[in-house]
Amino acid sequence: MYEAVATALRISPTTLYKYDLNRDDKCGGTTPARKYVAFGAAIEQQFYTNRFMTLQQNSKQERQRSKNLIARIATMEANAARLGFDPERCTSRS
């Protein structure tokens, strides 16, 4: 059973014995295998949650950056038209 825990945590089974992690949980009555696998799953869940939030924030920033660039291009086209240039062809109307 401890080998399964060690495999799930990607550590040596000897490490579980060395640090006395092979004892049963006296409070909850859970076996170490369940406890450590659940702990590993919680760490993995937290990692992916943090990664998702970071990517979501990056996506919002890039979306805002794109909107700002579109507004800037629209302003440039309006200024070009006001000065007599065709924004589509970049040639003078005169």
Helices (H), the chain: 2-9, 13-18, 32-82
- Residue 8, helix vs strand vs coil: helix
Q: Considering the entire predicted model, what is its pTM?
A: 0.47
The angle, 0 to 180 degrees and rounded to 10, between the axes of the packed helices 32-82 and 2-9 is 20
Q: Are 85 and 76 in contact (CB under 8 A)?
A: no
Residues 82, 71: Cα–Cα separation, whole Å: 16
pLDDT at 36: 67
User: What is the amino acid identity at position 68?
Assistant: N
- Domain limits of the chain? 2-82
**Paired residues of 85 in beta bridges:** 92
Model confidence over 10-60: pLDDT tens digits? 777 777 777 666 665 444 455 555 666 667 778 888 889 999 999 999 999
Structure-token match 């009555």, residue found:
29
Q: In the predicted model, is pLDDT for residue 78 greater than 70?
A: yes
